[in-house]
């Protein structure tokens, strides 16, 4: 969260429903670590919509490049395991 806020500052997002951002952050971490966790599961857990999680995740990923960094880390790990 700190990385995201520090990167977008001073244009920080308007936070209306904290549960939506919390779910999106959890989803971001799950994606980064390749965990089997869906937006639907998080929507039920946090009582928010899948659409709102998706929207916030897209904003986080656009700024922090979660998917790209996760894939890069996985490739580095696999190379180190099989070299």
The count of structural domains within the chain is 1
Task: State the angle between helix axes of 18-32 and 50-64 in degrees (0 to 180), rounded to the nearest 10.
Answer: 60
**pLDDT for res 9:** 72
Q: Which CATH number fits the domain that encloses residue 43? A: 1.10.472
State pLDDT tens for residues 66-81.
877 766 766 676 678 7
Please give the Cα distance from 49 to 78 (Å, whole number). Answer: 35
* Residue ranges making up the domain that contains 22: 2-82
Give the global pTM. Answer: 0.74
């Amino acid at each position: 969260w700190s990385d995201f806020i520090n990167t977008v500052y001073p244009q920080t997002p308007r936070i209306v429903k904290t549960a939506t951002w919390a779910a999106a952050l959890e989803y971001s971490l799950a994606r980064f670590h390749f965990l089997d966790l869906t937006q639907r599961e998080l929507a039920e857990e946090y009582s928010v919509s899948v659409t709102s999680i998706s929207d916030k995740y897209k904003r986080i990923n656009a700024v922090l490049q979660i998917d790209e960094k996760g894939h890069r880390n996985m490739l580095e790990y696999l190379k180190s395991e099989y070299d």
